A and B are shown apart, each in its own frame.
Chain A
Amino acid sequence: MAEKNTAVHTLAPDEILQVKNLSINFGGLKAVDDLTFTLKEKEIFGLIGPNGAGKTTVFNCITQFYKPTAGEIWFRTNKGTVENLIGKQVHDIIRLGLVRTFQNVELIRELSIIDNVLIGAHIDFKASVLSQALKLPKARREERELRQQAESVLDYLGIVELKDQLAGGQPYGILKKVELARTLMCQPRLIILDEPAAGLNDVETEQLAETIHTIRDKYNCTIFLVEHDMRLVMSICNHICAISFGKLLANGTPSEIQNNKSVQEAYLGAEED
């Protein structure tokens, strides 16, 4: 069990997330094994590794969907404090300024695109259920303001004209954008993207690279992504961490990773024997 950690954090002022000695076991399988890495503020950080390396598991540990067997996850929250995420409730993570997307787009087909985006603003609604039911001025104002904000986010991503259409039946590229728009509603400090380019064609992938860059600058946040498209990862990431079978292989700039012997072996197999 992960014991409540009272140890003092070790985040340097320019660091936003530190994963420290993270391990999680599923039965006898060590999905993540003593993994340590650090994200700097305003970085685009890539996590790569062959299939089954445990990348998504790392994400699920950070966002507390899985409870790690051991380790610490230090995060600089939107309030400026540094907190260990271990043991927090899944639905409280977003309140700290950490938001994520999913490998298989998780949107609500029966809702319009703008309503899907508004789900990302869930924590910003302060009006009680009763005042919502009675549509008291406060609830009305909140709804109006956040709807405008959602429109401007959709506008920014270039899909505002689709806002009233249902999410169900939209092309995959649009759905990916809607999911991205949803993460931008909560003024995030750190956005975790789980395979943002999966299922996109080359043109869309190029657009995505552009979008990720501008999001980082416009929203002043850090981006942490898992991706299989090596061209995308190498072109946009400032820093890459490669893992295999839950273990750290290498940590460095894109060119360092490209030239790293053990990374090449993990992807292509060892040259001899």
Chain B
Amino acid sequence: MAHNFRTDLWVDWCPGCGDFGILAALQQSLAELGKKPEDYVVLSGIGCSAKTPHYINAAGMHTLHGRVIPFATGVKLANPNLTVIVDGGDGDLLSIGAGHFVAAGRRNTDMTIIIHNNGVYGLTKGQASPTLPRGTKTKGLQRPNILDSLNPVALALSVGYTFVARAFSFDVKQTKEIIMKGIKHRGTAVIDLLQPCPTYNEINTKEYYEERVYYMDKDASWDPAVREATSEEAENKYLQAIKRSLEWDDKIPLGIFYQNELVPSFGERINGYIPSYFEDVPSKSPICDAEGNPLVRMEKIFSDRLIKK
């Protein structure tokens, strides 16, 4: 029987939670991609979404609040052959972890980041997250939110992400398609995943989104991919993505906003100065012989420190 990537744990999210759709889409993606379960590492931060790795039958790392991106980067750096997937909440990735989110765009490590975007901090009972608009009063709040929301798609575009998409967790089939495209993308893929919180966000509900979402690629002329290395093409694709990212209130675009595989991944950049990097991956590289003698000798490497007569 094919590996279905399900664990036998009871999934402890609230009934109706948008996270179920993301979990299903992710499990199906991993199965369809056909790698062995030990070749995937699924990482998460803290919060409701952070339980995700425990429910997936592949290696999982449930990390610290806000720090999931650096943890994921470390896995990929040490073994670039692994497929690395990040699940984080909007608070996790865009508030406490915002610095890491920005830095990840600049690195373009080959991995996929899924933002579980529901506008609230669910696990601490519904405080406002960075994607909740100013003036909104969801039921967990004492008073309307006094902070402006940020736009995850526009932020991702502005800091250099090379694959930026949005999906809606109640459309599992399309979500799976977008996740798979993200995983196949060479570089960092970020997916703003609209994920209603049925318990604390009574505004951005399943129905709210169903009335507004549309797929950008329904229009056959929509082409988010940069295909030529000319600056003009890259600029046009970037500007059309930014413009589309500003749509929200009446019409919420789904699908791929922007994709550029011409930008070298972080691994390729490292391989530029360590040409053995992809063959002699750090996690597998031998360091000593059977007696424990080190394999690397200092004399030539550090010859610039030799005192010569």
Mutual binders A and B: no
**Residues of A in contact with B (beta carbons under 8 Å apart):** none
**Residues of B in contact with A (beta carbons under 8 Å apart):** none
